[in-house]
Structure 1
């Protein structure tokens, strides 16, 4: 999976989590690709700049995108991000108009994904959460992990919590 696909799937997860069939969003994404390039949802311009939001609104209307699937909405006469897109935006860090970092779960803000760190896998300051959780399960204490990886105990806790959350969601 490419980083662009990862970013777009993170945004689409905001809709899937609310039981909205994202396949219906496909026609809009196809048209947005024509306007913004291969991974339009991984770029800031369609969502953050006024002209980009207006274009997204026009595309949504053109493909008759249902309200629960819309990326932008009109509120008080202004085109703004829909709630799901706003949640995604708050979890994304942009560099040069492209998502450079993601927070995969808002409940663990210390955990991030970055294609240049830990091969894009969830990590805390470059240390993979999977490794920390595995070491913890093997009997290494939080304090030992914090010392070994030069992390704070709360960062170790965040990594372990993230893996617990991710594991429970995978098995559900």
Structure 2
């Protein structure tokens, strides 16, 4: 007979990478992401015996992470700026500098979204989970999740276009300054 720890680990192993990505995506700092992951695992392990159906383990784990993250968000305002180390966690060695820059813009814009919209976008569009599963994780109706996705994407598009525009303007000013120095 398998021990509680062995059962838990066999269920947890296949989803740990995506759970880590979720924690990274919804947390303002690397340390917060580590704390969220550890708290999620601890809570899940303690409550593991209460899980009736192992087929719901994935949504159960993400629900725990989502609730813990939301509780942290409510307790304190996020005042810490995102460090550049945060973006080093993006998994890809073949990305071009432009792609890395765009991903950084995306994550900075994601941080400005309401927490429910951010989680919905991360679950469905970054991690690739179905909308049904994401609505179960967020403990909401499917229509509510779709609304969060729609509104979040519109707001994300606006935030990213504003960021790109302001970035382009600062590059033009920098180029003008260097051209004047040459003369």
For the aligned pair, the TM-score class normalised by the smaller chain equals under 0.3
Higher share of residues assigned strand? 1
Higher share of residues assigned helix? 2
For the pair shown, which has the larger CA radius of gyration, 1 or 2? 2
TM-score using structure 1 length: 0.28
TM-score using structure 2 length: 0.27
